[in-house]
Amino acid sequence: MSGTPRRCLELQNSSTHIAKAVEILCEGGLVALPSETVYGLGADATSEVAVRKIFAAKQRPAGHPLIIHVADIETARTFSNDFNEVAETLGSTFWPGPLTLLVKRSTKVIDEITGGRETVALRVPAHKTFRTVLTAFSQNGSGAIAAPSANLYGSVSPTTAQHVLSDMGNLIDAVLDGGHCVVGIESTIVDCTVDPPVILRQGAVTLELINAALKPIGVAAAEEFNGDSRAPGMKISHYAPRAVVKLFENMESLSTYAKQCDVSAIPYVSITGNADRDLYARELYSLIRDADGLHPQEILVLLPESIDIGVAIRDRLFKAAAPH
Ligand code: AMP
Ligand code: MG
């Protein structure tokens, strides 16, 4: 890698290009893949060498565990030696989809994935292109893809192929363009190894949906993350743009603050989101990236209500606003 930028292949959503993406994965390379949540930086989850490349490209600290993506629940079971009743219920209810399950690992899982932990995070994604890649990779390779968000550690997650190219274009082998991610924020993570199970990260699969599926056991409400080692890698400052992010609960307080700003430069850009919270989630990272691209000192953001996916949007925004 001695300083020469490598050429990143820009692959389109065609069978020839998907075959090329699978070939790169089989050779231990890095391919950014579209998913319904955000673009993932994919590599063969069973190859130590390939997984180490993810950490190097993202500049992610070693020991922060990665999610393994597989084609179906049957394959997921093989990566766990205790795929328990809670995991079975949640997997069969929400997969394929934006839900990650933390379960006890099997011997198939390498230490590079879990950072040496006895648990592993598994997901069956719903994005059609990702699923086609997984099916082909099951036939020609391991069928297990490690894929954290395809951005540099701590920065804003990518929801388009263009975002990936602008962040990591010279660090990866290819990006497969599957359009704009439809959910737009990272998967919900549920720890199934504890009783009751706990939501470690909020996402589109909400507390209410999980509780309905897990009747009568239920799930413990999401933890407040402040460096808790139960979900390592979710540090307080995350998803952060260059500008300072300031958050507002209502339009009135945002406008009052904006009026006081010095308008001689570009002091702020405001993001007021969308009353349709699903749409707000879908556009969130694009809005933050576009705002940051104008090089303001501050980005003023209107928080959504803490209802359904609004809970997850607020979580990401609080992390984007944390000092870094
Ligand atoms: P991402 O970087 O969005 O793919 O999310 C990965 C996150 O999943 C990590 O930062 C952890 O918080 C969580 N995670 C993955 N594997 C484990 C594990 N074995 N134990 C605890 N948390 C995990
Ligand atoms: Mg990430």
Distance separating alpha carbons of residues 60 and 141, to the nearest angstrom: 25
Whether 1 has a pLDDT exceeding 60, the answer reads no
Residues 128 and 262 in one domain: no
Residues 139 and 19 in one domain: yes
Task: Report which protein residue has its CA nearest ligand 1's atom 6.
Answer: 66
Give residue-wise pLDDT tens across range 227-276.
445 666 566 777 889 999 999 999 999 989 888 876 665 677 888 888 89
All residues at 6 or more sequence positions from 174 whose CB lies less than 8 Å from its CB, including other chains: 8, 9, 10, 11, 20, 21, 24, 29, 30, 31, 32
Position 133 scores a pLDDT of 98
Position 230 scores a pLDDT of 61
In a domain, 193, yes or no: no
In a domain, 207, yes or no: no
In a domain, 201, yes or no: no
Position 154 scores a pLDDT of 85
Question: Ligand 1 within 6 A of 233 CB?
Answer: yes
Residues 19 and 113 in one domain: yes
Question: Ligand 1 within 6 A of 120 CB?
Answer: yes
Distance separating alpha carbons of residues 289 and 305, to the nearest angstrom: 22
In a domain, 119, yes or no: yes
In a domain, 174, yes or no: yes
Domain encompassing residue 293: 244-321
Whether 61 has a pLDDT exceeding 80, the answer reads yes
Distance 294 CA to ligand 2 centre (A): 23
Residue 5 backbone phi and psi in degrees, to 5? -60, 135
Residues 64 and 144 in one domain: yes
Question: Ligand 1 within 6 A of 197 CB?
Answer: no
State the total domains in the chain: 2
DSSP state of 60: P
Least confidently predicted of 34-48, 58-72, 222-236, 277-291? 222-236
Task: Report which protein residue has its CA nearest ligand 1's atom 2.
Answer: 148
Give residue-wise pLDDT tens across range 107-117.
999 999 999 99
The CATH number of residue 15's host domain is 3.90.870.10
Residues 114 and 252 in one domain: no
What pTM was estimated for this model as a whole? 0.94
Distance separating alpha carbons of residues 85 and 217, to the nearest angstrom: 11
Ligand 1: atom nearest CA of 230 is 21
